[in-house]
Structure 1
Amino acid sequence: MTGPTLDRLMSLRQLRERQAAAALARQTQTAREAAQRANDAQQDYQRFLDELEAEDASTLLYLNGDRLDLDALQQEHARRISVASEEAGHQRTIEQARVAQDDAETQRDALARTHSHQRKRREAMELHRQRQANKARVDADLHDEDEAERLTRPDWP
């Protein structure tokens, strides 16, 4: 490859490498945010369970009292149904957050591999360019030495 062509390729590779590094940074941030959402969902679920435990304790105190009636039992049954539904919603939110986190981490890992591959390729191209430049310099030195030697020899055989 000629020098200018190789220089253009190298600058394009460096641009791609910078873009890959930026994409990797963005994906790492996305993975962090997904992990935070999963953590928040887990904390919401834990608060929900704590509130549910407190409600259950107060309901048991009420039901163990003297005022046990059908209306109270129906209300407790309806509350438990809504609690089960809300708990399922929390579980879905947690699972979705975990899936999003796993996806973000997978994409980040793929970008990291691509970035590493591009960096290694750029380094190999730079090494190749340096070797070509060194070989050209050595060839030019040899040519100059041959030319100098030729000039010092007499023209006759």
Structure 2
Amino acid sequence: MDRGLRTGGWWPVPDVLAHLAGRWRVERVVRDLASGAEGRFEGATVFSPWPGGGLLHEESGMFTWQGVARPAERTLRFLPGGSPGTAEVRFADGRPFHDLDLTTGRHVADHPCSADLYRGEFTVLDGDRRRTVWRVCGPAKDLVLTTGYARVR
């Protein structure tokens, strides 16, 4: 994409599924604002074709919390969204998670989870780097999860 089309410090993405396809290096910092504890995830995410359209998102790596490192993984489905170039993100079991529209290079989405609210801000920094920040507020959690993604070529 032409760098001249970059607006507001974000990188517009005309087709989120095409942009995400492939392998990404992942680094995530998890901060518990109530306790001050901090954890770190390092690993990879692979977006591969999902039967019937969309992408299967498989993330795996090591999560270190309070000095203890453990393997961690998650799977999501990224399906074509309601308008061109967007996606509908679902959990592995098919439950809705959030929508994703990066046509401006930035998107904000909410996900209510029990009494807590997850608010995600998704930004595309350039063709090979993006960032997600989830702010989780509620009676059970007070967290900030900041994730950097870099495309693996």
Structure having the larger proportion of residues in helix: 1
TM-score (norm 1): 0.15
> Relative contact order (C-alpha < 8 Å, sep 6+): which is higher?
1
TM-score (norm 2): 0.15
Structure having the larger proportion of residues in strand: 2
User: Which has more radius of gyration?
Assistant: 1
